[in-house]
Amino acid sequence: MKWLIHHTKRILRITAGFVLLLVGAIMMLPGIPGPGLLLFIAGLSILAVDFVWAHRLKTHLKSRVDKVMSKMRRKPRKPASAEKT
């Protein structure tokens, strides 16, 4: 009986992860409102429990997001034309 419960939970977890990935990917399309990237990452986080590829992709995306956020937090440079005047 434990085997059946374990596999049922696993199937539900994998299904929920793929549904979140699909909905997140659809919401990332232009013109469709919603938190697409957040749902996509949530789906990857759920799938990372069972799949190595999802864990690797989530880690890669997290490092890319961290790089972009660190660039955005830096002070903006003045344009070259503004420095000459």
| 78 in any annotated domain | no
Total number of domains in the chain: 1
Q: What is the pLDDT of residues 18-71, one digit of tens each?
A: 999 999 999 988 888 888 888 999 999 999 999 999 999 999 988 998 898 888
> Is 12 part of any domain?
yes
Distances (CA, A) of 29 to 16, 22, 81: 20, 11, 36
| pLDDT, tens digit (0-9, with 9 covering 90-100), for 8-19 | 999 999 999 999
Report pLDDT for 81. 66
The Cα–Cα gap between 47 and 39 comes to 12
C-alpha–C-alpha distance, residues 11 and 46, integer Å: 12
Tokens 């590829």: give the residue: 53
CB atoms near residue 21 (< 10 Å): 19
pLDDT band of residue 84 (cuts 50, 70, 90) is: low
pLDDT above 80: residue 75: no
- Within-domain flag for 48: yes
pLDDT of residue 37: 86
Within-domain flag for 25: yes
Q: What's residue 85's pLDDT?
A: 53
Instruction: Give the structural domain span for 9.
Output: 2-70
Helix spans in the chain (H): 2-27, 36-47, 52-73, 80-84
